[in-house]
């Protein structure tokens, strides 16, 4: 069976206990991974929100969500951005200059990781990910 990499949006759905995503991940088990890029995006998001918290209830809720994110990172495989992924990322950008837009950078890094380990990306963002040849 292939390795399925959840994009950041799907990880957010999983953390939010989305029923369909949660069931599917439970069925796939060890065949599901996330990327270090997704970890970066999630942690960046929680840090900004925590730093902007207005009251103690907000802090409690946000730290709870950060704790759940940490727990998820301990339970699933986190695919790294190694030299093979870096080379793939450079090749994608060199061969497809239209993908070098700032808003696409993290998605292209996720795609490069997936391509470098021959994994499948699970995403609702077909518009952006479908632009990556071979993904």
Q: Is residue 1 predicted with pLDDT exceeding 70?
A: no
Site of tokens 């993290």: 106
- Mean predicted confidence (pLDDT) in 3-8: 96
pTM confidence score: 0.92
- E-assigned strand segments in 7-73: 32-35
**Residue in 5, 13, 21 with CA at minimum distance from that of residue 110:** 5
pLDDT band, very low/low/confident/very high, at 94 (cuts 50, 70, 90): very high
pLDDT digits (tens, 9 = 90+) for 101-123: 999 999 999 999 999 999 999 99
Band (98; pLDDT cuts 50, 70, 90): very high
Give the per-residue SS3 of 67-90.
HHHHHHHHHCEEECCCHHHHHHHH
Q: To 10 degrees, the CA torsion angle through 76, 77, 81, 83?
A: 170
d(CA 133, CA 36): 21
Number of residues that make up the chain: 135
% of the chain at pLDDT higher than 90:
95
């Amino acid at each position: 069976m292939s390795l399925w990499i959840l994009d950041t949006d799907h990880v957010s759905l999983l953390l939010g206990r989305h029923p369909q995503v949660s069931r599917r991940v439970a069925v796939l088990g060890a065949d599901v991974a996330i990327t270090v890029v997704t970890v970066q995006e999630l942690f960046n998001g929680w840090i900004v929100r925590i730093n902007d918290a207005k009251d103690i209830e907000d802090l409690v809720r946000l730290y709870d969500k950060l704790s759940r994110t940490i727990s998820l990172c301990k339970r699933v495989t986190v695919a790294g951005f190694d030299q093979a992924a870096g080379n793939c990322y450079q090749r994608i950008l060199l061969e497809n200059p239209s993908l070098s837009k700032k808003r696409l950078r993290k998605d292209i890094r996720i795609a490069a990781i997936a391509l470098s380990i021959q994994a499948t990306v699970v995403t609702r963002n077909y518009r952006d990910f479908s632009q990556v040849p071979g993904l």
